[in-house]
Amino acid sequence: MSSQPQTALNPLAEAANATIKAENATVFALLSERGKRFFFPAKGILAQGAEAKAKAKTANATVGIATESGAPMHLNCIGQYFQGLTPAEIYDYAPSFGKPDLRQAWAKKQREETPSLGDTLTSLPIVTNALTHGLAVIGDLFLDPGDEALSSDLMWENYNLSWETRLGAHISLYNFFDKKLTGFNLESFTQSLFSRKGRKLVVALNFPNNPSGYSPSKAEAGAIVNALIAAAQAGSQLVVVCDDAYYGMFYDPACETESLFGKLANAHPNILAIKIDGATKEEFVWGLRVGFITYGVKGGTKALYDALEQKTGGMIRAVISNVSMPGQSIVLKALQNPNFRAQQAEKVEILRKRAAVTGEACRKAEYADCWDVYPFNSGYFMCLRVKGVEAEAVRQHLLEHHGVGAIALGKTELRVAFSCLTEAQIPVVFSAAAASIRALQKK
């Protein structure tokens, strides 16, 4: 068998590795082999282009776009669909790290929403092609084939596709809820952490959770952070990924409304906290594809974060080069708009009402023979644990006989996205689900 030829590390990768190792040896150990190889090609075309931008006063023949009258060349049949954006804000390339103003504006937003960050130094957010891409990049940088990631049993199935199918990592599961379905299963989480004591582990935390719609209470959130710190103190080396896709959609005053990233970014030198967030769900722009990766670790220095940003930017450059310019320009303008928060709150209020109607409809005593309701207090979804029949059979029956669509997950979970139902539709969905379940139970 011929052995794989080993390409020498690029000097920029070596420099970034040396910096990371010197600043925090755990973070270096957490990098995948691919992560260790990666660097941002800052001395190639991009650097020459940046130099020319500053100095080429006569003519700049470096840029890989076409220009006309000092602006990016463009077609009116495309331009007619944009209002209020300059040609540069629509057609130009964005940097691989994202538009600098957008990165600053998103960092400001994160700080406002996360008081426990205090003055903890973190990286600047790096722009990704929304959260899926952010999660993929983190997998590329931190997961080797055979590495283990820990997630709740109720999780977004794309983690499997990205980290297991694509990268060959293995996802282990802890039980998200306790047996009585009263709240977060701290015992299962802690036990899963401690049975892997002293090892490298990527931990995925997704609150508000897809599919259950659950966010921990303040006490639960504190206990989750403490369990991670205890594992780190016991020698575990942890990448903790806070998937904050549904951030801000909290419907119960008991919810922890801060991202756990706030505390984890300053928790322990053995915990590299990574915030994966973005405009997709929060700002109701699913198709714009604008997300962010932000790093934080206790004692993290600017040099450490710069090196991590370089590796991340390099990974983005290698796969997609950069993220959609119109998407970034529009999200930046929204963040700068004085009406942004009020408009966002208005929409969250609509979802809050739907969540309340859902809570009443699904918990009617008459449905006790049909399902248990997983706790939910946030996000877009809620989940039923159906009784006596398989969720997939219920899904098909619901669709065939009642024209109602829902998602079957696992053997017994039926996910209902109340985010896309009117208040009037909600009771109809649950009464149809009950009818389907009873029809199938009788078979």
Ligand X SMILES: Cc1ncc(COP(=O)(O)O)c(C=O)c1O
Binding residues for ligand X, rule: CB under 6 A, are 130-132, 156, 206, 210, 243, 245, 278, 280, 286, 291
For the CB of residue 326, give the shortest distance to ligand X in the complex, in Å. Answer: 16
Contact 176, 208 (CB under 8 A): no
Would you say 156 or 305 has its CB closer to ligand X? 156
CB 383 within 8 A of CB 415: yes
Q: Give the burial class of 162: count Cβ atoms within 10 A of its Cβ; 0-12 exposed, 13-18 middle, 19 or more buried.
A: buried
Closer by beta carbon to ligand X, 86 or else 165: 165
Closest distance of CB 204 from ligand X, Å: 9
- Nearest Cα residue to 141 out of 3, 48, 244, 272: 272
CB 162 within 8 A of CB 204: no
What is the nearest approach in angstroms of ligand X to the Cβ of residue 201? 19
Using DSSP, state whether 5 is helix, strand or coil.
coil
Smaller CB separation from ligand X, 210 or 237: 210
Report how far residue 203's alpha carbon sits from residue 184's, in angstroms, rounded to the nearest whole number: 16
Looking at the Cβ atoms of 39 and 156, the one nearer to ligand X is 156
Q: Which amino acid is at 296?
A: G
Phi, psi values for residue 372, rounded to 5°: -105, 150
Instruction: Please state, in angstroms and rounded to a whole number, the distance separating the CA atoms of residues 176 and 187.
Output: 10
Shortest Cβ distance from residue 245 to ligand X (Å)?
A: 4
**To the nearest whole angstrom, how small is the minimum distance from the Cβ of residue 129 to ligand X?**
8
Return the half-sphere exposure (C-beta side, CA atoms, 13 A cut-off) of residue 194: 10
| Closest listed residue to residue 329, CA positions, set 107, 92, 90 | 90
**C-alpha–C-alpha distance, residues 409 and 372, integer Å:** 15
Minimum Å gap between C-beta 260 and ligand X is: 14
- Of 255, 244, 203, nearest to 106 (Cα)? 244
CB nearer ligand X, residue 17 or residue 132: 132
Smaller CB separation from ligand X, 132 or 270: 132
Of residues 28 and 176, the one with the C-beta less far from ligand X: 176
Among 326, 66, 322, residue whose Cα is nearest residue 75: 66
Q: Least Å distance between CB 379 and ligand X?
A: 8
Question: DSSP 3-state helix, strand, coil percentages of the chain (rounded to 5)?
Answer: 45, 15, 40
Nearest distance in Å: CB 287, ligand X: 9
Q: Which is nearer to ligand X, 291 or 300 (CB)?
A: 291
